Amino acid sequence: MSTLYPDFLEKYLTEKEITTLKERESLHTYQFNELTFVRLSQEYKDYPRGAVFYEKGIIPGYPRIMRILHLENGINRYFKDSFYVEEKVDGYNIRIAVINGTPLAFTRGGFICPFTTDRIPDLIDTNFFKEYPEYIICGEVVGPGSPYNTEAIPYVDEDVVFLVFDILDEEGIRLHIEERYKIFERFNIQQIRRWGPFNVSGGTSDMDEIKKIILELDRDGREGIVIKPVSDGKSVKYVTLSSCLRDLEATAHLITELPAGFFTQRILRAVFFCHEFGIPLSSEYLISSAKALYLIPEQTLKKVADGESVKEFFDVRVRNKNTVDELIQHLNRSGVRIQLVSVEKSGDHYRAKFYRIYIKGTRELRHRLMGKGFFD
């Protein structure tokens, strides 16, 4: 059976590639502002997941970042020349690109996020695109006013901020790191924190400095670092011990929603961190982890037994009231059920409160409560 796709795809992909991608169900067409976009839902050849094709070009996907669990050995293995250490923050990834004169915000998966697109004028100086219309700004939206994340972060008190960490060109090539730092400084666009440049081939002092940075980030309740080469090469990511515990605390209510690997990965990261830094796992850390992994699901189970669903609450600010409906439609489209609670005018913005219902996780708990058996 042949399915229709927009003709412009043939500018970027061969007929054979399109057929393969269709067979894999990796191409998804959608409309926005009367424009047609096709997003790639799985990595293919040089295209990362989330690449978006449209009539006049491609929004390259944001590349995956390899993780290391042993900081010193990972750095020695992958960085022979100079590199920078950037803070890794925990929010959601956004690429901002200008299409037909309008800046649009794309999620990691290649959807247009109505919330972030609405808030672009609050997040960056869009004069950037007058000078660099072909560039794509990549960064993380963080803060308690996020429509996607619920993990509390100690460094943003309200609403959201956009912290930028890359510039891609239309071919997906990253702008040279130091040039990027300068351009963002010139436009006063808020960049992620950074340290460096470092070079570990000359001795141990830079390595000691990096270890100090990670220990400080750990104490300050920060997520971790992304290490990026000055010249060619791959970036790597490494997270703090405290972030592993915060992840467990923020997600244990989703124990029947998330894959088990999500939780075991956090345990492994914590164990590696303690091994490398010679830190004994304190009773306090162990108790908090056990509490997160047992008490939070226990509370969730009680709620479901009382007839409630597994839920998460959100409180977001938007500039245009219509954005609330668009956001809810967008979230519903990504397989999540949303219930709007209220929309109120608040200064220059509208404040929308809603909650997300986790259908699969709720159903599984209900089935177990009803005594339904299963094979594990």
- Point out which residues bind ligand ATP (CB under 6 A): 62, 64-65, 86, 88-89, 93, 140, 165, 192, 226, 237
C-beta of 224 vs 361, nearer to ligand ATP: 224
C-beta of 193 vs 363, nearer to ligand ATP: 193
The least distance separating ligand ATP from the CB of residue 206, rounded to whole angstroms, comes to 19
The least distance separating ligand ATP from the CB of residue 196, rounded to whole angstroms, comes to 12
The least distance separating ligand ATP from the CB of residue 361, rounded to whole angstroms, comes to 19
C-beta of 93 vs 150, nearer to ligand ATP: 93
C-beta of 64 vs 321, nearer to ligand ATP: 64
The least distance separating ligand ATP from the CB of residue 33, rounded to whole angstroms, comes to 25
Lateral strand order in the sheet of 83-88: 66-67, 236-239, 224-229, 83-88, 194-198
26 phi and psi angles, rounded to 5 deg: -100, -10
Task: Give the chain's end-to-end CA distance (angstroms, integer).
Answer: 37
C-beta of 65 vs 152, nearer to ligand ATP: 65
The least distance separating ligand ATP from the CB of residue 104, rounded to whole angstroms, comes to 17
The least distance separating ligand ATP from the CB of residue 177, rounded to whole angstroms, comes to 10
| Residues 99, 87 contacting (CB under 8 angstroms) | no
Residue 87's nearest CA partner among 273, 287, 227 is 227
How buried is residue 201: exposed, middle or buried, by Cβ count under 10 Å (0-12/13-18/19+)? exposed
Q: What angle do CA 303, 307, 311 make, to 5 degrees?
A: 55
Residue 196 to residue 144: CA distance in whole angstroms = 30
- Nearest residue to ligand ATP by CB is 93
C-beta of 49 vs 349, nearer to ligand ATP: 49
Lateral strand order in the sheet of 136-142: 102-107, 92-99, 136-142, 161-168
